[in-house]
Amino acid sequence: MSVQCPKCKANNPDTQRFCGDCGTQLPVSEGISIPTQTIEAPKEELTTGSTFARRYQIIEELGKGGMGKVYKANDIDIKEKVAIKLIKPEISTDKNTIERFQNELKFTRKIRHKNVCQMYDLNREEGTYYISMEYVEGENLRNMIRMSGQLGIGTTISVAKQVCAGLAEAHKLGVVHRDLKPSNIMIDREGIVRIMDFGIARSLKEKGITGAGVMIGTPEYMSPEQVEGKETDQRSDIYSLGAILYEMVTGKVPFEGDTALAIAVKQKTEKPKDPREFNTQLSEDLSSLILECLEKDKDSRYQTADELQSGLENIEQSIPTTDRTAPLKKPLTSKEITVTFRAKRVLIPALVIFVIALIGLFLWHPWSGFESPPLDMDTPSIAVLPFEDLSPQKDQDYLCVGLAESLINALSKVNGLRVPARTSSFSFQEKDQIIRDIGEKLDVKTVLTGSLQLAGNTIRITTQLINVADESLLWSEQYNREMDDVFHIQDEISRNIVETLKIRLGAAERAGLSKRDTTSAEAYQLYLQGRYFRWIENVANFLKAKDYFEQAVEKDPNYSSAYAGLADTYMLLGLFATMPRDEAAQQAKRAARRALELDANSSEAHASMGVILEVFDWNWQGAERELKRAIDLNPNFFDAHYEYGFLLARLNRLTEAEAELKKALRINPLSPRGHIVLASIYRAKGDMEKAEEHIKKADELSSRPVLDENPIERTQKLIDRDGRLPQHLMQLSIAYIQSGQEAEARKLLNELERLYERSDVGNIAYHVALVYLYYDDYDQALRWLEKSFERRDPNLMSLNIYTFVEPLRKDSRFKAILAKMGLE
């Protein structure tokens, strides 16, 4: 007797409880005793560090989508990184879907092109189907658009041309993507665009693989024929690319709706608005090209990807050469955001301050190039450099950086030992510089270098303590231990350094040197990965950092440092408008409070709480209390000194602020932001000579000095690279005013005002106010500052030290803003 599966209709022996084809539970006939069977349950997720399919060592989760989760893994057989897409159980058990994937994969594997991510295989392991594919390290287009709002014309064309090139190759082989969207387009570290997820593409030569009337795709990017479930060809991909082009230049998809069905209906019936309604800088040619891609009738669209690419190249020839730039190759840095102008009445290098006040509140970066003041040669001092990764796959960068940072944190608490901050020491990462040069730039007498190699759970660490004067080796050691013993290795290294430098420790210092707030090596590794991504300043990496910190506290709910890291990250997500401000503030405070509950003597947690109170609550007294406590607990903590100095400047306590910033720069001599804030203090005190001196020092420290660049050209490059961010629009508007291009300046000002009306991002009104201030329209400037106050823009915290608002200081409305903020 057989039993028919209620789902796939396959016949099964009456002794089975589950369908042999699709895994669905079978109905049980009366009187039939079914023996107990062990069913191989499909996996729903993989854990970091585990080995899957006896071949893939899981490094981290990269993301998840409709089909399942994607992981970065080491392929042990070929010794390369790959991506593994673990298909959801409900899909894995669907025989027809798996058969379709298998049929389509034999076509997609034939695509060999630099703009297409290579698909490898569809396999089954432990009851679960998975797809292996090439691992692409970079940023997806969805995140780029989300961070920028609109992309620059040059970047848009560059991305679209490369997508066309990849599609053209696939179409020649008879493969259509059918689900082209920004999240399926990656830009790697070299700026090369890669189309992802051809795994659900369909061969044009094979009919019937996808059932009739089955709709595959994402509603916002689907062609009308896809909406109707009709046959698709290469022109469907062109429609999808048109929708992506539309979103890149406007920040909006062509059609929006409350439901997927509502959007799908619009794709079939409504005509998209001209993208120039949302982006006045768009040329008529590019707008027409996009709308032609979005024609309802596929015969009216561009017919091939090659034809579309040719159209894009023709438009590219008509735009200025400086705008024809490749996609972003590295994350945005606060220095690159910063622009200085020659003002007509005020010295505009102070504009550097207000940009960093928003972007750089808690972003700390490695810089190089400035010599610090001479050190008292009787003071023991050491610079700890990042460890070199000698692991076979070169995938332990986070551990190399984290180990060095942990040693810096421990040694900085030793009284009488000077340890340059992370950003100064790490400025020499991956740079071939001799020890003596490093010692001179950081003004230290010793340098610690090392290497790390991880194989399975075995870690090998080699360290060398080098005398800067003659580059002689003072001490070296090699440690071969299990990863669980990494804490003891750190303790031994710290003790050996202190002993070699002949520093006497008190009982409290000796205990503090080996203090740790977790005993879980797994939680510690997750924490280090969170710290690693926390320092790479873009929203995608902040989100990764948040995930790692959350995993760390899941592994060890009593891990104070992980909660402090989580607090910092929530604050950043709030500042970058990735999370609603109130939600970010609530989560940041909760994490900081938990960190302090677990360790009331954590200088990092007190500093985090201080900045959170300052940024979100404008609670100056609370912020000062927390930052002073952080400094008392660790006098060598650069960030606490820096933030406290900045707070004192905002409170108009300029003499105290100057002293505190000098202490900060003593610890971290290669900090541009330290010199910039110190310059703002001198400017507020009227000492223009010292202010200019520190602005120049900050510029020298930057990897990309900007003082001598043309403001219009520089800002246009930033817009093309980052999109039409409010600060860029403001900077370009002022640059146009300076150059006498009044009409262009007004267009940008109008664009900023429209952006304010349709967006709740907090910093737009502030930048509008600055343009009006430059026009000497003080009434409008004050009106927009009041709007900025309504959205509690962090830029307003520094009004006391901004010299360019001097004309407003006597106005009662300006005084009212300061009073309501508690700054008067």
Q: Minimal CA–CA distance to 486: which of 450, 510, 454?
A: 454
Which residue has tokens 């006040």?
Answer: 357
Residue 438's pLDDT band, with cuts at 50, 70 and 90, is: confident
Residues paired with 383 in a beta bridge: 447
Higher pLDDT, 506 or 241: 241
Our count of domains for the chain comes to 5
Whether the pLDDT of residue 631 is over 90: the answer is yes
The 3-state DSSP class for residue 761 equals coil
Higher pLDDT, 103 or 696: 696
Whether the pLDDT of residue 13 is over 80: the answer is no
pLDDT digits (tens, 9 = 90+) for 243-267: 999 999 998 999 998 888 889 889 9
Residues 805 and 708 in one domain: yes
Q: Dihedral through CA 678, CA 681, CA 687, CA 688, nearest 10? A: 70
Q: Is 118 within 8 Å of 134 (Cβ atoms)?
A: yes
Q: Report the chain's mean pLDDT, rounded to a whole number.
A: 78
Q: Minimal CA–CA distance to 467: which of 432, 500, 422?
A: 500
Q: Is 591 within 8 Å of 604 (Cβ atoms)?
A: no
Is 720 part of a structural domain of the chain? yes
pLDDT digits (tens, 9 = 90+) for 59-68: 877 777 667 7
What gap in Å lies between CA 75 and CA 504, rounded to an integer? 49
pLDDT of residue 642: 92
What is the sign, positive or negative, of the torsion defined by CA atoms of 266, 267, 268, 273?
positive
What is the sign, positive or negative, of the torsion defined by CA atoms of 41, 129, 546, 756?
negative
Q: Is 243 within 8 Å of 204 (Cβ atoms)?
A: no
Q: Is 157 within 8 Å of 346 (Cβ atoms)?
A: no
What gap in Å lies between CA 661 and CA 809, rounded to an integer? 26
Give the H/E segment covering residue 597.
Answer: helix 581-598
Domain around 723: 335-359+703-821
Q: Dihedral through CA 531, CA 535, CA 541, CA 542, nearest 10? A: 80
Residue 203's pLDDT band, with cuts at 50, 70 and 90, is: very low
Full-model pTM:
0.53
Is 657 part of a structural domain of the chain? no
Residues 188 and 93 in one domain: no
Residues 390 and 242 in one domain: no
Residues 282 and 170 in one domain: yes
Higher pLDDT, 110 or 610: 610
Q: Record the tokens describing residue 442, joined without a space.
A: 């950081």
Is 671 part of a structural domain of the chain? no
Output DSSP code: residue 617. Answer: I
Residues 309 and 221 in one domain: yes
Residue that terminates a domain, selected from 134, 150, 179:
134
Is 576 part of a structural domain of the chain? no
Is 241 part of a structural domain of the chain? yes
Output DSSP code: residue 80. Answer: E
What gap in Å lies between CA 638 and CA 379, rounded to an integer? 18
pLDDT of residue 234: 92
Q: Is 238 within 8 Å of 308 (Cβ atoms)?
A: yes
Which pairing describes strands 446-455 and 382-384: parallel, antiparallel, or unpaired? parallel
Residues 200 and 236 in one domain: yes
The 3-state DSSP class for residue 288 equals helix
Residues 376 and 389 in one domain: yes
Residues 352 and 435 in one domain: no
- Check which CATH number belongs to the domain holding 305 and give it: 1.10.510.10
The 3-state DSSP class for residue 479 equals strand
**Residue 304 phi, psi dihedral angles, 5° rounding:** -140, 160
Q: Minimal CA–CA distance to 202: which of 107, 95, 92, 122?
A: 107
Q: Is 592 within 8 Å of 605 (Cβ atoms)?
A: yes
Residue that terminates a domain, selected from 134, 158, 186:
134
Exposure class string for 422-458: b at 16+ Cβ within 10 A, else e: bbbbbbbbeeeeebeebbebbbbbbbbbbbbbbeeee
Query: Which residues are CB-contacts of 205 (< 8 A; sequence separation ≥ 6)?
Result: 174
Residues present in the chain in total: 824
What gap in Å lies between CA 500 and CA 519, rounded to an integer? 27
Residues 269 and 158 in one domain: yes
Angle at CA of residue 511, ends 510 and 513, nearest 5°: 65
What gap in Å lies between CA 129 and CA 52, rounded to an integer? 12
Residues 65 and 34 in one domain: no
Which residue has tokens 């940072």?
Answer: 405
- Check which CATH number belongs to the domain holding 351 and give it: 1.25.40
Residue 274's pLDDT band, with cuts at 50, 70 and 90, is: very high
> Mean pLDDT, to the nearest integer, of 213-221?
67
Distances (CA, A) of 605 to 282, 598, 640, 678: 47, 10, 11, 25
pLDDT of residue 820: 92
- Check which CATH number belongs to the domain holding 480 and give it: 3.40.50.10070
What gap in Å lies between CA 199 and CA 134, rounded to an integer? 12
- Tally of CA atoms within 13 A in the half-sphere of 635 that contains its CB: 7
What gap in Å lies between CA 236 and CA 302, rounded to an integer? 10
pLDDT digits (tens, 9 = 90+) for 769-790: 999 988 889 999 999 999 999 9
Which residue has tokens 């050469």?
Answer: 321
pLDDT digits (tens, 9 = 90+) for 130-141: 888 888 877 788
Is 639 part of a structural domain of the chain? no
Is 214 part of a structural domain of the chain? yes
Higher pLDDT, 524 or 241: 241
> Mean pLDDT, to the nearest integer, of 424-430?
64
pLDDT digits (tens, 9 = 90+) for 676-716: 889 889 888 888 888 888 888 877 776 555 555 677 887 78
Is 668 part of a structural domain of the chain? no
Residues 167 and 314 in one domain: yes
Give the H/E segment covering residue 52.
Answer: strand 51-52
Residues 318 and 169 in one domain: yes
Residue that terminates a domain, selected from 483, 516, 549:
516
